[in-house]
Amino acid sequence: MYLLVFSMCDVLAIHIFFLVKTEGSWKEIGNSISHFIIINVLVVAVPCMVVLARWFTKGTVIPDAKLE
């Protein structure tokens, strides 16, 4: 699941990279650049959240549930 989410974030970042505008109004340029930055922050945040989740649940033991 982690690799799927991470690869989808990478694909989205590449897609938005090609949509960054260098012409037009300052608002359009700023919006396209901010979207690209937000997606790149997401690419960094997803692995950080996985590491934090593993750190917080390091000693957790899930007991076996017997279905009857």
CA angle centred on 12, ends 1 and 6, rounded to 5°: 25
Q: What pLDDT is stored for residue 19 in this prediction?
A: 85
Determine contact, residues 32/20, Cβ cutoff 8 Å: yes
CA atoms of 46 and 67, how far apart (whole Å): 34
Does residue 56 sit within a domain? no
Does residue 7 sit within a domain? yes
Whole domain around residue 28: which residue ranges?
A: 2-49
Does residue 11 sit within a domain? yes
CA angle centred on 10, ends 16 and 12, rounded to 5°: 35
Determine contact, residues 53/45, Cβ cutoff 8 Å: no
Does residue 19 sit within a domain? yes
Does residue 10 sit within a domain? yes
Q: What pLDDT is stored for residue 67 in this prediction?
A: 62
Structural domains of the chain, count? 1
25-34 — which CB contacts under 8 Å span 24+ positions?
none
Q: What is the pLDDT of residues 24-62, one digit of tens each?
A: 899 988 998 998 899 889 888 888 998 999 999 888 777
Does residue 55 sit within a domain? no
Does residue 15 sit within a domain? yes
Does residue 58 sit within a domain? no
